[in-house]
Amino acid sequence: MATNEDTQLSDAVTREFAAAGYSGDYTQTILYQQKWLNQATTENNRQAWIKVHRQHLLPETLIAYRLPWDWDERDSNYLLIKQWVSDEFQEELFAHTRRLTSNRLNGLMPTEIRAKDKMYLVRKASSRKVQFLL
């Protein structure tokens, strides 16, 4: 599917090559190679991995969506998604992480935290008594 700009560029190249004395077949070959190179460059750009800070995207989200990922070897604060993800899908992943984070915070965090307070999560002690047999 050629755009208007592509058609205009193709016509201009054809006129320039014809004026320089090149045959129509040679001109078409050059245009085909240029189109193929542009398409290959676009596909290579989409094969790039995506690097995201773990504050914005949790591993649980990537696991839930079955996306291949790994930690960045240079900076452990970043995740690498090992496939191309469109901008719209990235927003969906970020929204999923926000939902997970808000669900966790609603159950665990108090409404007000002061700077000097420290919170530790501990397991509730068992209420049953342990009996030892001698």
* pLDDT bucket at 42, cuts 50 / 70 / 90: low
**Last residue of one domain, picked from the residues 16, 31, 46:** 46
Let me know whether 76 and 101 are in one domain. yes
The pTM score is: 0.46
More confident position, 127 or 10: 10
Let me know whether 42 and 72 are in one domain. no
Let me know whether 54 and 101 are in one domain. yes
| Residue range of the domain that includes 70 | 50-107
Let me know whether 57 and 42 are in one domain. no
Beta bridge pairs of residue 79: 52, 71
Let me know whether 56 and 103 are in one domain. yes
Let me know whether 39 and 68 are in one domain. no
Name the least confident of 28-32, 59-63, 72-76: 28-32
Let me know whether 77 and 42 are in one domain. no
pLDDT of 112 > 50? The answer is: no
Mean pLDDT of 37-58: 73
Number of structural domains (the chain) is 2
d(CA 55, CA 63): 16
pLDDT of 134 > 80? The answer is: no
- Percent of residues, the chain, with pLDDT higher than 90: 13
